[in-house]
Amino acid sequence: MHPAEKPEGELLKELQFEATRSSGPGGQHRNRVATAIRVTHVPTGITAMATEKRSQLENKVEALFRMRVKLAIQVRSELADGDFIPPGAYKPSELWMRRLRSAKMKVNPKHADFPALLAEVLDRLHLEEDDLGRTATAFGISNSQLIKFLAVDPSVLHALNERRKTKGQRSLRTGG
């Protein structure tokens, strides 16, 4: 199971939280109280931070979500024999299928499901060696829908374009 997909209780066992003070809006309360939260995923060393809320608990929730997104982007699942199947025979997760509407992926990037969906797509994209057509086919969406989904987080599309550049391929852009 990809770390971004793990149940909260299981993921929390791999995380280390640190409360700090931060500057910025929020007035004297923010400057005197350690409300900023930094979270580290111990196995990978990946960190995420939230500082914008006045409450430590709200920042912890936001930092945990950001950690899931970073894990989805930066960690690839190990490949198993069952992963090497043609795109047309691939069966996306139940979570993906529940979100698929008329060959379009419907999920808000702030929704709790987003990191797991992103991890699944990026794992398959990695398996397909960044072949958009094969990856889109595996998930039952068009190439443009796949690009729109990946572009929700600009760092994802940027990383994909950097890999494409090293292969002599053109950069992908969103239509809007």
User: What span, in angstroms and rounded, lies between the C-alpha atoms of 60 and 37?
Assistant: 6
pTM to 2 decimals?
A: 0.87
Spell out the alpha helix ranges (H) of the chain.
8-12, 27-32, 56-74, 94-99, 114-127, 132-139, 143-151, 154-166
Q: Who's near 127: CB < 8 A, 6+ residues apart?
A: 79, 83, 84
Q: Are 142 and 100 in contact (CB under 8 A)?
A: no
Closest Cα partner for 38 from 69, 62, 13, 74? 62
Q: Which of 61-65, 95-99, 120-124, 150-154 has the lowest mean pLDDT?
A: 150-154
* pLDDT at residue 176, rounded to an integer: 54
Note every long-range contact of 17-21, with CB atoms under 8 Å and residues 24 or more positions apart, other chains counting: 17/60, 17/63, 19/56
- pLDDT per residue over 58-102, tens digit each? 999 999 999 999 999 999 988 887 778 888 899 999 999 999 988
Residue 25 has pLDDT above 60, yes or no: no
Q: What is the CATH number of domain 3-73?
A: 3.30.160.20
Boundaries of every domain in the chain: 3-73, 81-166
Give the separation between CA 141 and CA 132, rounded to whole angstroms: 10
